[in-house]
Structure 1
Amino acid sequence: MRSYFKIDIKGRSIWKICALIALAVFLVCCQFIIYNIQQPATANAGQTITISMRDSAISNVAGTENIIVGILLPKGFNGAQNMTVSYTSTIGNGTMQPISPTIIEPSTSGTTHLNYSQSFMAKFGIGNNLVNDMEWVVFISTQAVNIPNGSFEGTVNFQLKVGADGNTTIFKTAFVNCESTDGLNSGGTPPAPDYGFNNGPRMTVNGPGEFNDLCDPQLTSLVPAKALQNDFVTLTYSEGLDTLNLLKGNNFYLCVDTAYTSDGKKLTGFCSQSPKTHLIETSATSNTYMITFWPASFFGLTSSQTLTKMAYHIIDANGNKVGLGDTQSPFIFNYSCE
């Protein structure tokens, strides 16, 4: 929150006015600090868990604001539909609701005009995760809160039904707390954030579906993490994670053992050492190799075929293979939309 005022400047008192303005700029702010996160380390898909976020704030201007919180979750959780949020604080208790995607986050109002979820993603990204299959789920208090000229504390409780997609997912949460006037702005001299941010701990949600590790380094990864046959897909192989040194040399290839289609077909014949399957090192010493391909063309799909899954390895020039977890088991990638 910031206050704005007009001063008529007269004569030699200008230096006094400037000093007062500088002091006001330094003082006028509302700053949040997230200092404690409590969440379970494990849960089962479909289970409702409680996540608690404790924070404190100090304001030098009294005002009426809506409190806003954001939590970073896997997209497959559908957090906005599968979560309720409430808060208790030294200035009152209340409930929260998903914020409208049409509300612009204040720090972007004069530039990029991003909504809160987009702005949180632009500023904080996917936190301590490595796979961009995450989203910021943002809630706003259903009633305005009277914020004092002083300090206050609160606890935000998230009741989250995890694993809506039924998958096993490993990820790390993150949290943002701010209010509706300042959003992600910074105030004071020197500038200090008007918001609070904190990375949360690791969580494993067990389910009967796919295995998705979103926060640990992987031998291979695909971007986008959710793709269809007409999306260009970039596959990355991190040679440094091949701890058993199963592959030799520096020429590596994508070996698709089997591609599966929705009509029950199993497509083979896509495991070879050729320019079509060759992975290119990103730089001379990176030990990271990439290939970008168009699945529909790569597998020669007809207009009536829908790709559902591929099982693949990475091979070297001699045909040595590496698969899931540095074993001979194939990597699996499921083609699906978000």
Structure 2
Amino acid sequence: VPRSWNARQNTVVSFTSPKGDETMTLIPNTEIEPVSGLNWPSAAKKRFGIGTNLVDDFEWIIYRSNKVYTFVNNEDINIDVKISTKLGPENMIARLGFYMGSSIENLRPEDTDYTKFAFSNQFEVKNGVGDIIDFVNPQLSKIEPVKSLDNDIITFSFDAGVTNTSLSNTDNIYLCAKAFNASGNLVGEVCEQTAKTKLAPLGGKRYRIDLWPRGFFNVAESTVISRIEYHFTDATGTNRVGYGNTADPFKFTFTCQ
């Protein structure tokens, strides 16, 4: 699940079955999964990853039954699991992960008989706050960490391989950005084709630049940057790419954990 949901504090998992019904218990972070030597959330993430989600801001939370149940080989049984959770406040598109296993195998990598996992179809949260956080669809650009403030080091990335753009035929990619405060007032702007704004090539038509927003925009100590709008340009500054390969800027709103 997305970390911003704080699902560990806001989720109830229960099941009904011919073997019995109960509400399951969250495995604490302090408990070690026997096979990997990691705690259960870390072990699950190592084993199952984040599926086809493209942004790694996910965590696994693991619940288990309070009773021990016995099954025989090839026993056909239906278990209905109900998961109730409170969504986070942000608009979001993601695919959720699900895992079912047993204490016989725990998370042994070779096991495919007792351990099953899957990721959902696209799950969308609407009518929330802020810009859409899209974990699923290939993005021309993203800023990481997704949860960050203006005093954090953040990474702007640009993927020219997603679709053909006016910057597809150059490796000289530059950042052109504006900073706004909570009232929507412009508090800083940098749009120049210099070493300060040039993205580093990563190969495969992917580029990135790491920066400290407060220093990049040279804002006063009392100024708080709440939002950034930005484009990417070529060395002339004439050709630029924005959100959805349009003239509209990419937008990023700072939010804390």
- TM-score where L is the length of structure 1: 0.68
Q: Does 1:81 align with 2:4?
A: no
**Do structure 1's residue 234 and structure 2's residue 161 form an aligned pair?**
no
Contact 1:262 1:305 in 2 (8 A): no
Percent of pairs with identical residues: 32
Q: Residues of 1 paired with 2:94 and 2:180: CA distance? A: 28
Q: CA deviation at 1:83?
A: 2.4
Per-residue deviation, 1:169: 0.7
Give the letter for the 2:161 counterpart.
Answer: G
Match of 1:317 in 2: 235
SS at match of 1:282: strand
1:271 deviation in Å? Answer: 0.9
Alignment of 1:299 onto 2:217: yes
Q: Which of these residues, 190, 194, 200, is aligned with residue 120 of structure 2?
A: 200
CA contact (8 A) 2:160 2:167 kept: no
Match of 2:139 among 215, 218, 223: 218
Q: Tell whether 2:185 aligns with 1:261.
A: no
Query: Residue 273 of structure 1 aligns with which residue?
Result: 193
Partner residue of 1:287?
Answer: 205
Q: Measure the CA separation in 2 of the matches of 1:123 and 1:231.
A: 30
Find the counterpart in structure 1 of residue 84 from structure 2. Answer: 159
Q: Which has the higher contact order (CA 8 A, sep 6+)?
A: 1
Q: CA 1:87–1:298 in structure 2 vs 1: closer, same or farther (change >3 Å)? A: same
Matches within 5 A, 1:96-135: 96-109=24-37, 114-135=38-59
Q: CA deviation at 1:122?
A: 2.0
What's the secondary structure of 1:175's corresponding residue?
strand
* C-alpha contact 1:88 1:94 (8 A) present in aligned 2: yes
Q: Letter of the 2:24 partner, please give it.
A: M
8 A Cα contact 2:180 2:188, kept in partner: no
CA distance in 2, matches of 1:275, 1:244: 22
The 1:288/1:186 distance shift into structure 2, 3 A limit, reads closer
How far off its partner does 1:329 sit?
A: 1.0
Corresponding residue SS for 1:269? strand
Taking structure 2 as the reference length, the TM-score comes to: 0.88
The C-alpha deviation readout for 1:277-324, integer Å capped at 9, x for no partner, is 0012112xx111111112222122343333221111111122222111
CA RMSD of aligned residues (A): 2.2
- 1:335 aligns to what? 254
Mapping 1:137-176, distance limit 5 Å: 137-141=61-65, 143-150=66-73, 151=75, 153=77, 154-162=79-87, 164-165=88-89, 167-176=90-99
Of residues 94, 107, 113, the one that matches 1:184 is 107
Q: CA separation in 2, counterparts of 1:259 and 1:92?
A: 57
- Residue 100 of structure 2 aligns to a residue whose secondary structure is strand
CA offsets per residue over residues 182-230 of structure 1, 9 Å max, x none? 320257xxx6564222222111111242211111100101221111223
Larger Rg: 1
* Structure 1 residues not aligned, in runs of 5+: 1-72
Give structure 2 stretches of 5+ with no counterpart.
none
Aligned partners of 1:171 and 1:214 also within 8 Å? yes
State the number of aligned residues: 253
Structure with greater strand percent: 1
